[in-house]
Chains A and B, each alone.
Chain A
Amino acid sequence: MEAITKLFKSNVRQYGMIIALIVIMILFTVLTGGLLVKPINITNLILQNSYILVLAIGMVLVIITGHIDLSVGSIAAFVGAMSAIMMVDWGLPAWVAVVASLVIGGLIGAWQGFWVAYVKIPAFIVTLAGMLLFRGLTMIVLEGQSISPFPAGFTKISSGFVPNLADTATNLVAILAGIAFTVLYVFNELRARREQLKYKFDVSSSGLFIFKLVAIAVVLNLFTFMLASYAGIPNILVLLFVLILAYSFMMNKTVMGRHVYALGGNEKAAGLSGVKTKKVTFWVFVNMGVLAAVSGLIFAARLDAATPRAGTNFELDAIAACFIGGASASGGIGTVFGAIIGGLVMGVLNNGMSLIGLGIDWQQGIKGLVLLLAVAFDIYNKNKRVA
């Protein structure tokens, strides 16, 4: 028993938010009488939160560099509006409009990155200005009206599913994907562990390791099974999955990722070590702009309309997701995976509270407290380790 407590204590920080997510899910499953984990609701959860998760990926990079971006909601709205104008009013093909939208997002990111990185205006101010500016521009280009409907092909981004292989009741693709990724994951973990042992690093005990593998395999396959019994894998999940993998890889394994962490950890030391601090900051904002555009497109496709109020408060959800997921407000610390977990915590809370019929007033208040407690928990843990 003592060993288990000790194990739990030493891993609580690393797995703390995952444990919190599971607890919240169990809580709402009980409260909603199982409604939360119904296949249709699991699918809905993904669709509802996808645009926040995409923003959280970009936001965590911004936060790791020690900045903040308040403008992403407005950028998402503006890009959504521009895509509607291009597709609906001008009749451009969907793919041209999507590419053009991403370029617009990148340019907006470059605009903000320029002020932050080269003119050295605090990001809080630059993006606060951006928040107002792009909200205003959205209203101007839409002339205060909504534009709809989008071409059917475009809305498939958010509402479509990966086609099934054969005409079966449970979706085969989803089941197979679950199995394939389980195998890949286990294989990868085993290889990483072997390598760590070779270099004589501390690794978790083999019992815990096997437990972790089994737990993740079970959760993963349960998840894909849920999807399979509704409509299969949503297109948006594929996109999310690719983004998470790509950004995790970038942050952990590439020079760019290292430089982002170094810059956030100690800008002066990073600069004197040959990190091009201004350039890195600039590109982190460009990246944020592109991801905000992606988010705006997903949201527009989901609503099947571009509206002037789209994306309101997205930035706050994305920022909250990063901090719940363990990012540090002073920079240098945070992970893409953590931000996703944080986003899911917020998403499950939203979804669960709606299901049990809590009003928006209570939802807001509870989310606020969760954010505060999550960060307090994180800081408490850090202080304990230092002392």
Chain B
Amino acid sequence: MSEYILEMRGIVKSFPGVKALDDVNIRVRKGEIQSLCGENGAGKSTLMKVLSGVYPHGSYEGDILFEGQTCEFKDIKQSEEKGIVIIHQELALIPYLSIAENIFLGNERSKKGIIDWNETIVKTSELLKKVGLNENPNTLVGDIGVGKQQLVEIAKALSKKVKLLILDEPTAALNENDSENLLRLMLEFKREGMTCILISHKLNEVSKVSDSITILRDGHTIETLDMKADQVTEDRIISGMVGRDMTSRYPERQPNIGDVALEVRDWTVYHEHHPDRKALDNINMTIRRGEIVGIAGLMGAGRTELAMSIFGKSYGRSISGTLVKDGKEVRNNTVNQAIDNGFAYVTEDRKEYGLILMDDIKRNISLTGLRKLTKRAVVNEREEVLVAEDMRKRMNIKSPNILQKTGNLSGGNQQKVVLGKWIFAEPDILILDEPTRGIDVGAKYEIYTIIHQLAAQGKAVIVISSELPEVIGLSDRIYVMNAGKITGEVERADASQETLMKYMTNTGGVKRGSDHQTV
């Protein structure tokens, strides 16, 4: 047997109109962690779908060799039998089933068709111990946080006698603690002889755990970097991914800060589902015109809850406190009031909360500001086309025209549509929740540039981000939240990842991993 557990040779996969993969070659050594890096649309997920049999043999060209044998998987079941297990970016767990039921779903411990619950529970407990998750196997998956759900996914993979574990963006939804934990787990599995393929946009994680990195760009394999032999820096990986040197990840900016635009006073919000629990506790903050204010915090710290409760009471109950905009008190009791008062909230989940995916770019951009395009309730479609076209150019949305369905756009372009929608509504205060989540380096830079332009126009911009370098790189000032409270306020000059992290974990109250966790 060769030293490579997996070889993929000359893989070509075409969709109508596009070649998603064009002569891709990768080799993975037994027992290593290899990372796949590349911009969105580079073909990473497609490649893994070819490998795992989601795209069956015959729908692509090229050969797959696993443990020296040529494999022709017809479906995902066959690849799993060989020990290739993929954990997809979107978790495939069923919230209304228990942890044990989820782990053995489709693979039930049964005797003559009748499920052996005792064995199921015993096996589940063993697996949970292995991944370091201290939960009762009968707990419903919907009742545990995202970080723990990710661990359940891994336990599920382990239950299948996995030899090659593929993780597609496993930490995208996790906070720093949970990510850290997951990476540690990967290294532990590696010591036990398991091979892993990691797909991630978070380059610091990639460089931390990988033995080698394969870079894909536009459906081609660009290079494979050996972490031990080469001097591999994050910048080195990025330049491979984008095909050019990124001199700076954040554009230059001269802040021009004006008067106070928004003051949040004594803002207290109770939890939506647990009415006796405070989700936000006495928040006070100010944002000036032309200023970019970052909000840092772990997942569950209450950042999104703060943004949504300000934006038309879209989250929480028994909201108390006052909002003062340009020196006058305003009420945002409904989303419409908030929009009328000049607020905009760009959601962290653009597919669920941001876009009508089945509608085109034009209709999505005009939706919020539709009133500006109407006369006696009738939409002026000519005007709408002009507005949408103009926004497409300004935002540099890459699509043939504005009639493209937003569901067919890449993440970065979708984000630009959501931003365009809110910019068209001409707000004074923009709250951007994870504006660059899941989008590639090139598109990130463009989004940063747009954020800078907004600030330069005198708008007050609040940026919520889980990526500390991003918060530091973008913001003039940073509020740090933890457990529903503001635990620190840091000027740009004093901001470092270490200081922010200190405030983020500095609790007055209980420390919680995730907001969805039951207490």
Task: Using CB atoms and an 8 Å cutoff, list the residues of chain A in contact with chain B.
Answer: 195, 199-202, 253-256, 258, 261-262, 265-266, 268-276, 332-333, 387
The one of B16, B335, B336, B358 in contact with A332, judged by C-beta atoms closer than 8 angstroms, is B358
A262–B354 CB distance below 8 A: no
A265–B359 CB distance below 8 A: yes
Given A272-B335, A274-B339, A332-B358, A258 and B353 contact (CB-CB distance below 8 Å): no
CB distance from A337 to the nearest CB of B (A): 17
Q: A254-B374, A274-B339, A274-B368 are in contact. List 4 more A-B contacts (CB 8 A).
A: A201-B403, A262-B363, A265-B359, A270-B367
Given A268-B352, A269-B355, A273-B368, A254 and B339 contact (CB-CB distance below 8 Å): no
Q: Which of B86-94, B156-164, B375-383 contacts A (4 or more CB under 8 A)?
A: B375-383
Query: Which A-chain residue is minimally distant from B380 (CB atoms)?
Result: A253
Query: Which A-chain residue is minimally distant from B373 (CB atoms)?
Result: A255
Query: Which A-chain residue is minimally distant from B16 (CB atoms)?
Result: A387
Given A258-B370, A274-B336, A333-B358, A269 and B379 contact (CB-CB distance below 8 Å): no
A273–B336 CB distance below 8 A: no
Q: How far is the CA of A268 from the CA of B347 in the complex (A)?
A: 11
B335–A254 CB distance below 8 A: no
Query: Which B-chain residue is minimally distant from A195 (CB atoms)?
Result: B382
A270–B314 CB distance below 8 A: no
Given A254-B377, A256-B377, A272-B314, A265 and B356 contact (CB-CB distance below 8 Å): yes
A255–B401 CB distance below 8 A: no
The one of B16, B345, B357, B368 in contact with A265, judged by C-beta atoms closer than 8 angstroms, is B357
Q: How far is the CA of A272 from the CA of B311 in the complex (A)?
A: 9
Task: Using CB atoms and an 8 Å cutoff, list the residues of chain B in contact with chain A.
Answer: 15-16, 311, 314, 334-336, 339, 345, 347, 352-359, 363, 366-368, 370-371, 374, 377-379, 381-382, 385, 389, 401, 403, 421, 425
Contacting residues, chain A, for B311 (C-beta < 8 A): 272
Given A254-B379, A274-B335, A268 and B353 contact (CB-CB distance below 8 Å): yes
Interface pairs (22), CB distance under 8 Å: A195-B382, A199-B385, A200-B401, A201-B403, A254-B378, A255-B370, A261-B363, A265-B359, A268-B352, A268-B353, A269-B347, A269-B352, A269-B356, A272-B335, A272-B353, A272-B354, A273-B335, A273-B367, A274-B336, A275-B367, A332-B358, A332-B359
B357–A276 CB distance below 8 A: no
Instruction: Find the residue from A271, A273, A387 having the highest chain B CB count within 10 A.
Output: A273
Query: Which A-chain residue is minimally distant from B400 (CB atoms)?
Result: A202
A332–B379 CB distance below 8 A: no
Q: How far is the CA of A276 from the CA of B353 in the complex (A)?
A: 15
How many A-B pairs fall under 8 Å by CB? 80
Q: How far is the CA of A195 from the CA of B334 in the complex (A)?
A: 38
A265–B358 CB distance below 8 A: yes
The one of B356, B359, B371 in contact with A255, judged by C-beta atoms closer than 8 angstroms, is B371
A262–B347 CB distance below 8 A: no
Contacting residues, chain B, for A275 (C-beta < 8 A): 367
The one of A199, A254, A270, A387 in contact with B356, judged by C-beta atoms closer than 8 angstroms, is A270
Q: How far is the CA of A269 from the CA of B16 in the complex (A)?
A: 30
A272–B356 CB distance below 8 A: no
Contacting residues, chain A, for B339 (C-beta < 8 A): 274
Query: Which A-chain residue is minimally distant from B367 (CB atoms)?
Result: A273
Contacting residues, chain B, for A254 (C-beta < 8 A): 374, 377-379
Query: Which A-chain residue is minimally distant from B418 (CB atoms)?
Result: A269
Contacting residues, chain B, for A253 (C-beta < 8 A): 378-379, 381
Contacting residues, chain B, for A387 (C-beta < 8 A): 15-16
Contacting residues, chain A, for B425 (C-beta < 8 A): 274
Contacting residues, chain B, for A269 (C-beta < 8 A): 347, 352-356
A261–B335 CB distance below 8 A: no
Contacting residues, chain A, for B354 (C-beta < 8 A): 269, 272
Q: How far is the CA of A275 from the CA of B370 in the complex (A)?
A: 10
A266–B357 CB distance below 8 A: yes
Contacting residues, chain B, for A202 (C-beta < 8 A): 401, 403
Contacting residues, chain A, for B401 (C-beta < 8 A): 200-202
Contacting residues, chain A, for B374 (C-beta < 8 A): 254-255
Contacting residues, chain B, for A332 (C-beta < 8 A): 356, 358-359
CB distance from A345 to the nearest CB of B (A): 24
Contacting residues, chain A, for B334 (C-beta < 8 A): 276
CB distance from A266 to the nearest CB of B (A): 5
Q: How far is the CA of A270 from the CA of B357 in the complex (A)?
A: 11
Q: How far is the CA of A256 from the CA of B376 in the complex (A)?
A: 11
Contacting residues, chain A, for B382 (C-beta < 8 A): 195
Contacting residues, chain B, for A276 (C-beta < 8 A): 334, 336
CB distance from A254 to the nearest CB of B (A): 5
B353–A262 CB distance below 8 A: no
Contacting residues, chain B, for A201 (C-beta < 8 A): 401, 403
Contacting residues, chain B, for A261 (C-beta < 8 A): 356, 359, 363
Q: How far is the CA of A93 from the CA of B363 in the complex (A)?
A: 47
Query: Which B-chain residue is minimally distant from A200 (CB atoms)?
Result: B401
CB distance from A378 to the nearest CB of B (A): 14
Contacting residues, chain B, for A274 (C-beta < 8 A): 335-336, 339, 367-368, 425
Query: Which A-chain residue is minimally distant from B408 (CB atoms)?
Result: A386
Contacting residues, chain A, for B363 (C-beta < 8 A): 258, 261-262
Query: Which A-chain residue is minimally distant from B382 (CB atoms)?
Result: A195
Contacting residues, chain B, for A270 (C-beta < 8 A): 356, 367
A258–B379 CB distance below 8 A: yes
A266–B355 CB distance below 8 A: yes
Q: How far is the CA of A272 from the CA of B315 in the complex (A)?
A: 11
Q: How far is the CA of A262 from the CA of B356 in the complex (A)?
A: 6
CB distance from B392 to the nearest CB of A (A): 12
Q: How far is the CA of A271 from the CA of B421 in the complex (A)?
A: 14
Contacting residues, chain A, for B352 (C-beta < 8 A): 266, 268-269
Contacting residues, chain B, for A333 (C-beta < 8 A): 358
Contacting residues, chain B, for A266 (C-beta < 8 A): 352, 355-358
Query: Which B-chain residue is minimally distant from A271 (CB atoms)?
Result: B335
Query: Which A-chain residue is minimally distant from B334 (CB atoms)?
Result: A276
Instruction: Find the residue from B15, B353, B355, B381 having the highest chain A CB count within 10 A.
Output: B353
Q: How far is the CA of A265 from the CA of B339 in the complex (A)?
A: 21
CB distance from A333 to the nearest CB of B (A): 7
CB distance from A134 to the nearest CB of B (A): 31
CB distance from A174 to the nearest CB of B (A): 31
Query: Which B-chain residue is minimally distant from A262 (CB atoms)?
Result: B356
Contacting residues, chain A, for B379 (C-beta < 8 A): 253-255, 258
Q: How far is the CA of A194 from the CA of B272 in the complex (A)?
A: 52
Query: Which A-chain residue is minimally distant from B338 (CB atoms)?
Result: A274
Q: How far is the CA of A258 from the CA of B421 in the complex (A)?
A: 15
CB distance from A66 to the nearest CB of B (A): 12
Q: How far is the CA of A274 from the CA of B427 in the complex (A)?
A: 13
Q: How far is the CA of A253 from the CA of B356 in the complex (A)?
A: 18
CB distance from B451 to the nearest CB of A (A): 20
B359–A262 CB distance below 8 A: yes
CB distance from A362 to the nearest CB of B (A): 38
CB distance from B153 to the nearest CB of A (A): 25
CB distance from A273 to the nearest CB of B (A): 5
The 10 A-B residue pairs whose C-beta atoms are closest, nearest first, are A265-B356, A273-B368, A274-B339, A266-B356, A273-B367, A265-B358, A254-B377, A268-B353, A332-B358, A274-B336
